[in-house]
Amino acid sequence: MIDCQSIRKIYASQAGPTEALKGITFSIGTGEFVAIMGQSGSGKSTLMHILGCLDVATSGTYTLDGQDVTEMNENELAQIRSTRIGFVFQAFYLLPRATVLRNVMLPLMYAGVPRQQREPRARAALEKAALPEKFYNYSPNQISGGMMQRVAIARALANDPVMILADEPTGNLDSKTGQMVLETFQSLHRQHGRTIVLITHESDVAAYAARIVRLKDGEIIEDRKTI
């Protein structure tokens, strides 16, 4: 599913070049649940941006689902982001005046999915994200933070992406609610075979994944299975 070969990322600054990633090489198979973790300055956020096609590597190759995205232009990368990757962020980024159901339908509209297919696909995504149907017509400010994150997960699932990329998805939640969200990811992995990449700096969050890749100073220092 994901193959990174000798990924380097160098940022220019007045103080001189900074090498954020130093030749990262690893792969993630279809259906894996992997946590990429590290402290501030480890390179995990830089790697997340490259995996999400939000940035490009200075050198090396990145292949996503059989497509080499290394030399793609911005329009091609945008197409990959909208159709092949489902993003879940620490902030929920839900439209406050739209219902839960409409929030999940929006990416389908932007992707050009026919109108008659949008609601059934949004409902299927919400079901996979374990949000009870009675909340579908609520607005985001009428539901809890954990439910809002489940809506965000459903929105990420709506376009049937090849990968879900979750960046600190429990950062705005209390520990009990965060556990519920992480169990939702586990369910998507175990019951639906979803490929999930979780970015975190917390060991207890990473422990929910089946594999942990740990970064330090732009290099992989650990790559192990937890299950």
Angle of CA points 190, 35, 12, to nearest 5°: 145
The residue among 17, 78, 83 whose CA lies nearest residue 53 is 78
Residue pLDDT, tens place only, 168-190: 999 888 888 899 899 999 999 98
Q: Which residues contact 154 (CB under 8 A, 6 or more apart)?
A: 104, 122, 125, 126, 128, 129, 131
Structural domain contains residue 66: no
3-state secondary structure of 17: coil
3-state secondary structure of 196: strand
Structural domain contains residue 175: yes
Half-sphere exposure of 23 (CA within 13 A, CB side): 0
Contact 208, 35 (CB under 8 A): yes
Tokens at residue 91, please? 């902030």
What ranges make up the beta strands (E) of 29-84?
33-37, 59-64, 67-68
Structural domain contains residue 202: yes
Structural domain contains residue 152: yes
Number of domains in the chain: 1
Residue pLDDT, tens place only, 56-105: 999 999 999 999 998 899 999 998 998 899 999 988 999 999 999 999 99
In whole angstroms, what is the distance from residue 73 CA to residue 201 CA? 31
Structural domain contains residue 221: yes
Structural domain contains residue 3: no
The residue among 160, 152, 154 whose CA lies nearest residue 83 is 160
Which CATH number does the domain housing residue 90 bear?
Answer: 3.40.50.300
In whole angstroms, what is the distance from residue 207 CA to residue 101 CA? 31
3-state secondary structure of 40: coil
Structural domain contains residue 16: no
The 3-class secondary structure across 120-159, one letter per residue, is HHHHHHHHHCCCCHHHCCCCHHHCCHHHHHHHHHHHHHCC
Domain hosting residue 181, numbered range: 30-55+83-225
pLDDT of residue 59: 95
| Whether the predicted pLDDT of 200 surpasses 80 | yes
Q: For a pLDDT cut of 90, what percent of the chain falls above it?
A: 79
Q: Whole-model pTM?
A: 0.91
Structural domain contains residue 102: yes
Residue pLDDT, tens place only, 98-141: 999 999 999 898 888 999 999 999 999 999 999 999 999 999 99
